[in-house]
């Protein structure tokens, strides 16, 4: 059913010239070696535009008061947080499809999930530990919905990008100097 919708969207986009899906066409850069006269063709492709911040689902806050346990459901591939209201004795569950959704839990909820490990069957171990490992990181780094944290990794990524830019500028400068020396 989803495939039929997707093919419908693809057909519609194809009929109107793909205004929403733009392929990356490489820019052809041709250099001629002044000594040998050979053509050197380089294809330069721009980096794709992509999502920088992933939107996260809003999670229910402060469910630790009603928490009874959590487990991995193999049928739906979700972590299920089981809750029971003490007043009405009604059971309910919070289903978590993506482990990153747990980042939006409150600090007390993260502590509760950290100290009460996820329950799983042996064949579900790899998938369920993704949820538990994320909770471990959130607890250790104090990441939760009430805490705006500055990402060290973003700064590191920016620093690496600047190093690449400087390296690229140095290489281009050396090439320009070599080309100037060769032309003399």
- The residue with greater pLDDT, 119 or 46, is 119
**Residue 41 pLDDT > 60:** yes
Record the pTM: 0.55
Looking at residue 95, its pLDDT comes to: 94
- Residue 102 DSSP label: G
Q: In the chain, what are the domain boundaries?
A: 67-141
Give the residue, 25 or 91, on which the prediction is more confident: 91
Q: Does 149 score more than 70 pLDDT? A: no
- Average pLDDT of the chain is 85
Q: At what angle do helices 125-141 and 107-115 cross, to 10 degrees?
A: 130
Q: Answer with the residue of higher pLDDT: 155 or 158.
A: 158
Please give the torsion angle defined by the CA atoms of residues 39, 172, 52 and 103, in that order, rounded to the nearest 10 degrees.
120
pLDDT at 89 over 80: yes
Mean per-residue pLDDT, 50-69: 83
């Amino acid at each position: 059913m989803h495939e039929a919708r997707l093919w419908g969207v693809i057909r519609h986009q194809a009929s109107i010239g793909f205004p929403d899906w733009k392929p990356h066409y490489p820019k052809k850069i041709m250099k001629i070696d002044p000594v040998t006269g050979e053509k050197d063709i380089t294809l330069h492709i721009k980096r794709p535009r992509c999502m920088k911040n992933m939107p996260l689902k809003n999670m229910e806050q402060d469910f630790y008061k009603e928490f009874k346990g959590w487990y991995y459901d193999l049928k739906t591939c979700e972590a299920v947080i089981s809750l029971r209201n003490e007043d009405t004795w009604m059971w309910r569950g919070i289903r978590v499809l993506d482990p990153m959704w747990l980042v939006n839990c409150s600090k007390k909820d993260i502590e509760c999930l950290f100290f009460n490990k996820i329950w799983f069957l042996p064949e579900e171990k790899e998938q369920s530990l993704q949820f538990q490992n994320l909770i471990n990181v959130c607890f250790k780094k104090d990441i939760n919905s009430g805490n705006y944290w500055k990402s060290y990794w973003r700064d590191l990524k920016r620093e690496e990008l600047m190093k690449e830019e400087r390296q690229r500028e140095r290489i281009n400068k050396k090439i320009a100097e070599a080309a100037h020396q060769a032309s003399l």
